Amino acid sequence: MNMSRWVDLESSAKMLLLSNLLTIVIAILFHWSILTLLWGYWLQSIIIGLFTVVKLLVFGYRNKHQRLLLTAVRDSIFFSVHYGIFHFVYLIFLYFFSTSGISGFHFRQPDYIGITFIGVLFFVNHLYSFLKNYVLEKKRIGKSTNQIFLEPYKRIFPMHLIIIAAGFFSAMVPSAEIPLIIVFLLLKTLADLKSHEILHQSDTRPSFRQ
């Protein structure tokens, strides 16, 4: 029996929505600071990059063409360096924001258990989405390595802009941190779902015969 029949067509999007809503609820219950979310979504961004590397390599392997496989390996290495540099710079900014008295902004300290929770939650989410779409349903990963290379940037920029904006507003109005977190995380959730929809518009056909 084909296992993909047991998986709802939109289940990966529903799981993404659930992951975001669960993050919002727990953030409110445990009074997470905006820094906890900034670090957590930095981890989510790293996870997106990790699965992009896997997708590049699988794309090259599935096409059964040595030249394309070598191109995929080359692009995966270049992507890792390029994406890694971007996130290293982002990491430095997060460190400054997290260090009292250095950045000039004063936030409540991050909850490291919360950061770990967000990281694990979204790793499971992205792993499920990858297995569902590209292993069980054997969908085409993309049209080219260039398309796969650019996909995560289109997804993470709106996400990070929204969360960073929440951070600045929280710094200016500390008493409104929780309401701001709710509003901006809802916006982030909508951006996530839209990016997910766009991402999977191009991979609806099977990549090879079963």
Whether the per-residue pLDDT at 85 is higher than 80: the answer is yes
| 152 burial level (CB within 10 Å; 0-12, 13-18, 19+) | buried
Please give the DSSP secondary-structure letter assigned to residue 99.
Answer: S
Cα dihedral: 5, 205, 207, 3 (round 10)? 0
- Give the list of residues 6+ apart from residue 171 with CB closer than 8 angstroms, or none: 105, 106, 107
State how far Cα 31 lies from the chain centre.
23
48-66 per-position pLDDT tens digit: 999 999 999 998 888 777 7
Residue 210 has pLDDT above 50, yes or no: no
Strand partners, 206: 139
pTM score, two decimals?
Answer: 0.81
Read off the pLDDT of residues 16-44 as tens digits, 9 standing for 90 and up.
888 888 998 999 899 888 889 889 989 99
CB atoms within 10 A of CB 5: 9
Calculate ∠ Cα 43-91-155, nearest 5°.
Answer: 50
Residues in the chain: 210
pLDDT tens per residue, range 156-185: 887 777 777 777 777 777 777 788 788 888
